[in-house]
Amino acid sequence: MNNLSGGDQGAAQTKLQLAPLGTRLLSCTYESVLLFAIVFVAAYLFIAFVRDAQSGLMRLVFQAYVLAVCGIYFVYCWSRSGQTLPMKTWRIRLVTEQGKPLEVARAFRRYLLAIPSMLTGVGVLWSLVDRDRQFLHDRLAGTRVVRTDKQNQGRGVRAE
């Protein structure tokens, strides 16, 4: 899927100002608080209709439902603007390796890869040894988390 040669890819990556690892981790912390609220409401609605989802088939249906609700939230936000609310707050955006907005298929792939990566902690540990400090699911999905705040923007810097 990556059609860039090594030299072209390196040039594309240097143009993108990657978000620092600390900023991404703080965004993940904020994201978990927001996601708790989304899952709480979704679970409340599910239990209100089903009444019991503690065992058997309904437990599996409930788990799939919660994963689907989370997936809809992330895929919608990432493919629409490249940002969730916490990402906007921390001024970071999700883009392709080439710096382009994500299409729905790539956003969905990133979501599927992020589930085991973040739940097990492997994605965060990977970022400690990755040359660009990327999470594992970003490396595998061909995405990058970049800064959106432009230094010197609106400060009278002239283009020459």
**pLDDT score, position 139:** 95
Q: What is the pLDDT of residue 51?
A: 82
Q: Provide the 8-state DSSP code for 134.
A: -
CA distances from 26 to 21, 23, 92 (A): 9, 5, 11
> What is the model's pLDDT at position 54?
79
pTM of the model: 0.80
Residues of the chain with pLDDT under 50: 1-14, 151-160
pLDDT in tens, 78-115: 999 999 999 999 999 999 999 999 999 999 999 999 99
Count CA atoms within 13 Å of residue 146 on its CB side: 22
Domain range list for the chain: 17-147
Question: How confident is the model at residue 7, as a pLDDT?
Answer: 45
